[in-house]
Amino acid sequence: MKARLNDPRTVGVLGLAAAVLLGLAVVIVSTVSFGTREYRAVLAQTAGLRVGEAVQIAGVEVGTVRRLELQDKHVVATFTVSRDEHLGADSRAEVKVATLLGTHYLQVHPAGGGELEDDTIALERTSVPYNLQDVIDKGTNQLEALDSDALSRALGSITEVMRASDQDLGPALDGVNRLSAMVTRRGDEYEELFGATRSLSDQLAASADDLISLMRTSNLVIQELTARREKIHSLLVDVQHLATTVSGIVEDNESNLKPLLADLDTVLGVLREREREIAKAVRQVGVSGRYLANATGNGPWLDLYGPDSTPDAVYCATKGC
């Protein structure tokens, strides 16, 4: 065994095997995520994001960007997140600039319940930072499309017009200067006016609910008045119809109603006369009733008094004197 270990070929084979095993271990350690979970985010562009840059949630680093792949016209960023963090179905992601030197990070915003479909944040829920290079590229194409000769002629025309109106331009600029000076002098008044306007706006905003409630109440009152007006209109129409009907009945029976009304007037005269007689009798019965009550108020008999009209001779003869 020692002889084999001293053999250079055996040592070389063992060293090569150890190097291969070490390389596999490094690859496994670099590719396999321990305690993390892989997700993907579909981006419109990389926006400078690089493999190995951080993944943050609420400002805390929770993983790294593992891969960037081009699929169709979009970029798919594969990143890891700690298993302690749960990405719901509505999670969002955006590429952020970390420093002025050009480093970036992927900001993830967990949201929603359930699980993220296919562990992928869709394109409509991702965003990338403003890219100045894209604007420059687009602006370059627009500038190249400009007609330099026409632009030069236009600027020359403006110069000639300004030169021709030099005498009018000076007073105009002087007027603008005076206007600016006036605005500066009255700055405090303008500030007070704006402050009052702001106060009024705040008051209106604070009273918005009351104004809306008042408008709704006024609307109910108007609706009720409208309903009452319709009912009154219907009642007036019915009354007019009734008056027309009664007028027709009176006209149709006028010949019979005149004698009837005359007889009714006679009956009313007789009834008034009988009423006066009954009232007089009631007054007289009242006096008689009062005397009768006085006479019978001492018991179950009637007290009467009459003067004795018997002559003395008759009285003495019958009863003795």
Domain limits, the chain: 32-135, 157-206, 210-252, 263-290
User: Is residue 114 within 8 Å of residue 89, measured between CB atoms?
Assistant: yes
In the prediction, which pLDDT does 79 show? Answer: 94
User: In terms of pLDDT, which residue wins out, 301 or 196?
Assistant: 196
The string of pLDDT tens digits covering residues 95-132 is 998 877 778 999 999 998 888 888 899 999 999 876 55
Instruction: Identify the top-confidence range among 74-88, 173-187, 273-287.
Output: 74-88
- Tell me the percentage of the chain whose pLDDT exceeds 90: 15
Q: Encoding tokens for residue 37?
A: 């979970």
pLDDT, tens digit, 9 for 90 and up, residues 120-163? 999 999 998 765 555 566 666 676 777 777 777 877 777 777 77
> In this structure, what DSSP letter does residue 304 have?
-
Distances in Å between the Cα of 169 and the Cα atoms of 166, 172, 179, 206 are 5, 5, 15, 49
Measured CA to CA, the distance from residue 222 to residue 275 in angstroms comes to: 55
Contact status, residue 63 vs residue 79, Cβ threshold 8 Å: yes
Going from the C-alpha of 207 to that of each of 18, 195, 214, 219, 275, the distances in angstroms are 81, 18, 10, 18, 72
Is residue 109 a contact partner of residue 92, using CB atoms and an 8 Å limit? yes
